[in-house]
Amino acid sequence: MNPELTLKEEERAMVRMRTLYQQYGYAYYKMSKFEEYDLYVRNKSFLSCENILTFTGADGKLMALKPDVTLSIIKNTKEGEGALRKVYYNENIYRSSPTSHDYKEIMQVGLECIGDLDLWAMAEVVLLAAKSLEIISDKYLLDLSHLGFVAGLLDQAGVPEEPRGNLMSLMEKKNVPELEQSCRRLNVGQEIIRDLCSLTTLYASPSQALPRLKKMVRNQAMAQALDELESVCALVEGAENHLRLDFSVVNDMSYYSGLIFRGYLPGLPCRILAGGRYDNLLRKMGKSSGAIGFAVYMDLLEQLQSREERYDVDVLLLYGPDTSPKQVAQAAEEHRRGGLSVRTERQVPSGIKFHWVKEVG
């Protein structure tokens, strides 16, 4: 019997993702459940949650149950190793829920690629993000944008560093009226305001979006960012119909740079995958390498399954008083060999949900 058939949906997905990453030469990374609190407090704005569970270690140091994996991987990555460091992980992290504010143990699966990144290294990570989503559902969407393109447009407008965070937040919320007003208060030219608003509402396949983006290019930084984005989209073979360019996908520029992306599945109101290039985070941690990676939030699969009709068993197999036990056993085993769960009964029990009901004999 295939042991994968006995696993829950999220467990099966994790097994397949780990196999996928190993096929691409990524090594398994295992970390401790906790790190020194100082690692996280110095990079709190990088974390999606500010509340961190802490305790005092035996040596008196303040420790934290890990709310993030990426920071630990970067901390333990040495510079000057030559080859790219490619690692994947499946770890439980500990964060407070934005709705209930209770702490949750959340399973994450993801990978990081750190070092002297080239175009293929970035495209490979995006390709693996697409393949990870496809393991869960072939109806996934992967939204991409490039912070270099947005930053180049803001540079052209002469927007200072301080108000950029607010403008990016408005783009993320697709709040075009407020974005337009904020740009006017900063004396941004009308043509650039028009392009920023167009970027904010843009949501299209690469073939539809790239010609529109080319018309917005105003400087070398924007041209380089667009060329990188176009090349990555072309290299992610087999996922063309699942890619969308969406410049409301933004991140904190003090940590992230370049390509960023989000993955979505039907039935979930929020992203199940988040990733991007985060060279600036490495600079903050005293390292000069490049880095790109992503995480898949496996706990969301439980929400996805709860939205679907749950079944107790695939096949309800009914047998009569004259049916031999051997016939029942053989019929049940035939279905189980096909990967189905089977319950055998003399009659239909109350309160049981099943896909099919079949009779022996």
Among the listed ranges 84-93, 122-131, 190-199, 328-337, which one has the minimum average pLDDT value? 328-337
pLDDT (0 to 100) of residue 34: 72
pLDDT (0 to 100) of residue 348: 87
How sure is the predictor about 45, in pLDDT bands with cuts at 50, 70 and 90? low
Rounded percentage of the chain residues whose pLDDT exceeds 90: 46
Task: Give strand ranges (E) for the chain.
Answer: 27-28, 34-36, 54-56, 62-65, 85-96, 103-115, 141-146, 243-245, 259-264, 273-277, 290-297, 313-318, 342-345, 354-359
Query: To which residue do tokens 């018309």 refer?
Result: 215
Neighbouring C-alpha atoms within 13 Å toward the C-beta of 254: 12
pLDDT (0 to 100) of residue 141: 93
CA distance 297 to 91: 10
Output the average pLDDT for the chain: 85
How sure is the predictor about 39, in pLDDT bands with cuts at 50, 70 and 90? confident
pLDDT (0 to 100) of residue 2: 43
CB within 8 A of 153, min separation 6: which ones? 192, 195, 196, 199, 216, 218, 222
What pTM was estimated for this model as a whole? 0.78
pLDDT (0 to 100) of residue 324: 86
pLDDT (0 to 100) of residue 361: 62
pLDDT (0 to 100) of residue 264: 92
**Which helix H or strand E contains 21, and what residues bound it?**
helix 9-23
